[in-house]
Amino acid sequence: MRVVIAGGARGRALAEDLRMEGVEVIAVVAATAPAAVVADATADAAAAGLVAALSSADVLVVDADRAALTAALVAACDRFGVRIVARCTRASDRRLAERFGVRAVDADAPAREVIDPAAGDSTRPVGRGRGRVIVVWGAAGSPGRTTLAIGLAAELARDGRRVALVDADSHAPSVALATGLADEGPGFAAACRQAARGALSVDELERISLPHGGLSVLTGINRPGRWPELSVERVQAALTVCRDWADDVVVDVAASLELDEEIVSDLDGPRRNAATLGALRVADLVVAVVAADPVGISRFVRAHSELRAVIGATPVRILVNKTRPGVLGLDPRTQVRRAIERYAGAGEMWFAPADARAVDAALLSAQPVLRAAGRSALTAAIRRFVGEALEPPPPPPSPRRRRRRPSRRPVAPRV
């Protein structure tokens, strides 16, 4: 573990204790130096050196002071994948650390407790058990993967379950845009970097995720060029930790299922489709979204065999979206069902209508469909799909035989 300490004389003392514990301390700087260098990294050569140290560090230890712990510093550390530990002397210091979502320790805490999140931290969130990973996938085009992923996650969270929404789309991430969340520090990319170092935990996921109406959201990469950060190993490791963080983890992925090693010569290089393939391989359930038009159906049929080759025996729930009679005749559901049954061998499927007004309301308000248009036909379809395909209702109680009660009518006495 590589640590940067900001804190003057107390920082130098802590550095000596950490070195005795076998921890690599790469820099000891003034208390406000990290915040200053983040505000202006072009000041001098020393500032550039501190930025390089921060980018290679695992932990930054800083005083919980308004001049030393700033929003810009927290955002920069999120981009670098650096965990912040704030040393507190007063109750106001702890409130400041909680406001930024960073870990707080006492100023005189032992060195091991400073770098070990599990040592002496009574406020650490406790895992809720092995949750399930639900991956929302669809063939190329715009079948409505992101809209339905957000809607399904919101519906799953209605009964009090802890639900996480993850944007693992390495081609066109859009969860942050659809929910109105900031993506300066992509949460899922930071989680993947922490997972690669073996430092991802439940409290780290709490820190880097963003709340959105009862959901915990890990936003996707903010530039498509950052896709090499989402490797298969990192994605699978991050989603494995997410199982201990949430009851349901809804993952939005890209459409392409091509194996990159078949089309490139560098067998050890990064893969553009690694995030999609990695998420599908660890999924407990796959929601396959199909656009209800001739092009969308043909694309799904051709990609279905590739999907099965990736996921094996993982259950698939088919959700046919944008169902309308205009392109498929008077009975679109029957037409779609027959085509998918014949060419993809899939039997059971669910349907969601083409409801442009509800989707527009959701995008305008940056909310899930069920909150923006709670009485729409699309909301009813999502709730029916969750109730039948994702959370089957409990079986009805077995009927009991009604025992005939004795008649209470008076009986005439015999004469």
Q: What is the mean pLDDT of residues 188-215?
A: 89
Would you say residue 322 has pLDDT above 70?
yes
- Return d(Cα 313, Cα 193) in angstroms, integer: 29
Token reading at 218 = 């890990």
pLDDT band of residue 331 (cuts 50, 70, 90) is: confident
Percent of the chain exceeding pLDDT 70 equals 86
**Cα(368)–Cα(360) distance, integer angstroms:** 11
- In this predicted model, which residue has the larger pLDDT, 197 or 129? 197
The CATH code that applies to domain 132-390 is: 3.40.50.300
Class of domain 2-115: alpha beta
- Amino acid 377: pLDDT: 95
N-terminal to C-terminal alpha carbon distance within the chain:
103
* 132-390 matches 2-115 in CATH topology: yes
- Span 49-72, mean pLDDT? 82
- In the predicted model, what is the mean pLDDT of the chain? 83
212-271 pLDDT, tens per residue? Answer: 988 999 999 888 788 888 999 999 999 999 999 999 999 999 999 887 655 555 555 568
Segment 308-327 shows an average pLDDT of 91
Q: Which residue has the tokens 């077995």?
A: 398
In 10 A of CB 182, how many CB atoms? 11
**Segments making up each domain of the chain, as ranges:** 2-115, 132-390
Q: Write the secondary structure of the chain as one string of H (helix), E (strand) and C (coil).
A: CEEEEECHHHHHHHHHHHHHCCCEEEEEECCCHHHHHHHCCCCCHHHHHHHHHHHHCCEEEEECCCCCCCHHHHHHHHHHCCEEEEEECCHHHHHHHHHHCCEEEECCCCHHHHHCCCCCCCCCCCCCCCCEEEEEEECCCCCCHHHHHHHHHHHHHHHCCCEEEEECCCCCCCHHHHHCCCCCCCHHHHHHHHHHHCCCCHHHHHHHCEEECCEEEECCCCCHHHHHHCCHHHHHHHHHHHHHHCCEEEEECCCCCCCHHHCCCCCCCCCCCHHHHHHHHHCCEEEEEEECCHHHHHHHHHHHHHHHHHHCCCCEEEEEEEECCCCCCCCHHHHHHHHHHHHHCCCCEEEEECCHHHHHHHHHHCCCHHHHCCCCHHHHHHHHHHHHHHCCCCCCCCCCCCCCCCCCCCCCCCC
Band of the pLDDT at 364, cuts 50, 70, 90? very high
Phi, psi (deg, nearest 5) at residue 354 = -80, 105
The set of long-range contacts for 117-121, using a CB threshold of 8 Å and a minimum separation of 24, is: 117/201, 117/203, 117/204, 121/203
Contact 377, 367 (CB under 8 A): no
User: Mean pLDDT over residues 91-112, rounded?
Assistant: 81
